[in-house]
């Protein structure tokens, strides 16, 4: 039996719609359906990795690529005054979608420490 696809895999496979802001052969970035900031983009690898906890050495270049892509998206979206990159890993962090993703948040100030 095949495991159920995550919602993000369905977005990659164009089975459900999303507002895509960037795509290349290794990753996809789209607007979050429930934004918590004026800019809220979700950046994901096309490779199915559950979370940071599931990364291996072979993923080092991929993760580096995701960060360079986020820097380019932030520039494109004029987040010159700053932005936050967040990844939730596991239950305590509130991870809901079991496909590695980075939240690129901007357009307002953010507190520290986070909630
Ligand atoms: P997590 O809590 O796992 O770090 O974040 C999952 C994120 O995915 C949430 O911010 C949620 O709003 C977003 N999300 C969940 N389902 C969908 C969807 O179907 N489309 C889009 N664009 N975002 C989604």
Write down the pTM of the prediction.
0.97
- Could you tell me if the CB of 96 is within 6 A of ligand 1? yes
Spatial CA neighbour of 42 closest among 81, 6, 80: 6
Q: Round to whole Å and give the CA distance between 71 and 27.
A: 14
Overall number of domains in the chain:
1
Say if 115 falls within a structural domain. no
Question: Is residue 18 helix, strand or coil?
Answer: coil
Say if 80 falls within a structural domain. yes
Say if 83 falls within a structural domain. yes
At 21-57, the pLDDT tens digits run 999 999 999 999 999 999 999 999 999 999 999 999 9
Say if 112 falls within a structural domain. no
Say if 52 falls within a structural domain. yes
Cα 49 to ligand 1 centre (Å) = 16
The answer for 52, left when phi > 0, alpha when psi is -120 to 50, beta otherwise, is alpha
**Following CA atoms 106, 79, 88, 13 in sequence, which dihedral angle do they give, to the nearest 10 degrees?**
100
Catalytic annotation, pick one of 78, 99, 101, 103: 101
Q: Residue 1 — very low, low, confident or very high, per pLDDT cuts 50/70/90?
A: low
The CATH number assigned to the domain holding 16 equals: 3.30.428.10
φ, ψ at 27 (rounded to 5°) = -150, 170
* Domain that residue 82 falls in: 7-106
Say if 111 falls within a structural domain. no
């Amino acid at each position: 039996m095949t495991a159920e696809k995550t919602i993000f895999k369905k977005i990659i496979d164009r089975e459900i719609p999303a507002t895509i802001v960037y795509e290349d052969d290794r990753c996809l970035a789209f607007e979050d359906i429930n934004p918590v900031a004026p800019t809220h983009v979700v950046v994901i690898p096309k490779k199915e990795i559950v979370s940071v906890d599931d990364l291996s050495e072979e993923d080092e270049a991929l993760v580096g690529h995701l960060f360079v892509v986020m820097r380019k998206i932030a520039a494109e979206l004029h987040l010159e005054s700053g932005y936050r990159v967040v990844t939730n890993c596991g239950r305590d962090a509130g991870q809901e979608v079991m496909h590695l993703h980075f939240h690129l948040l901007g357009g307002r100030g953010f507190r520290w420490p986070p909630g």
